[in-house]
Amino acid sequence: MTNDTTLLQLTYISRICANVSEQQIALIHQQAERNNARLQITGLLLMTDRYFMQLLEGDSAIVKSKFAKIAQDSRHQEVRLVSERLVQQRQFPDWHMGLKRMLDQDEHQDLAAVINLYGQQQQFSTQHADAISLLFRSI
Ligand SMILES: Cc1cc2nc3c(=O)[nH]c(=O)nc-3n(C[C@H](O)[C@H](O)[C@H](O)COP(=O)(O)O)c2cc1C
């Protein structure tokens, strides 16, 4: 993906609805990959046993409108914007939507702990946003 001028990188966190099954997660992932390829959106969807955290990057208007749609999705709730920043380059150019599960017992347990902690926050400061940006860089 070339010729990126000004890109918006948006991150949010949300609570996974209790009744969401593995099959529904797989459907979300398929839907995201298919739509995002068409919209030239890239990014990463992280999930713990309780929360989603997603980073979306692409054309500013397209990412904002996609986020507005995602925020209305009944498969999650308490959608909270963590950060929005303009970047020169994509951080995940090869992933239309990578999915990573971070469960407490696996090698990502530190990251899962951070997401589960941040999932309880209602608002995010610049420091939170910076910490989350570092977390995404470590993946
Ligand atoms: C946690 C979560 C992440 C999602 N991520 C994306 C995404 O990256 N791209 C996308 O198109 N839809 C995503 N969706 C689905 C959207 O909410 C929505 O169903 C979809 O964009 C509808 O588009 P369509 O009617 O054009 O298929 C996500 C849903 C959830 C619950």
Question: What atom of ligand 1 comes closest to residue 14's alpha carbon?
Answer: 1
Model pLDDT, residue 77: 98
Q: Report the distance separating Cα 74 and Cα 17, nearest Å.
A: 8
Half-sphere exposure of 71 (CA within 13 A, CB side): 15
Ligand 1 centroid distance, CA of 80 (Å)? 16
| Residue 113 resides in a domain | yes
Domain encompassing residue 128: 7-137
Mean pLDDT calculated for residue range 16-41: 97
| Residue 1 resides in a domain | no
| Residue 111 resides in a domain | yes
Number of H helices, E strands in the chain: 4, 5
| Whether residue 52 has its Cβ less than 6 Å from ligand 1 | yes
Ligand 1 centroid distance, CA of 58 (Å)? 15
Per-residue pLDDT tens for 94-113? 999 999 988 766 677 888 89
Per-residue pLDDT tens for 61-87? 999 999 999 999 999 999 999 999 999
Q: Would you say the pTM of this structure is higher than 0.85?
A: yes
| Whether residue 66 has its Cβ less than 6 Å from ligand 1 | yes
Q: Which of 36-40, 84-88, 90-94, 107-111 has the weakest average pLDDT?
A: 107-111
Q: What is the domain count for the chain?
A: 1
CATH code, domain with 118: 3.30.70.100
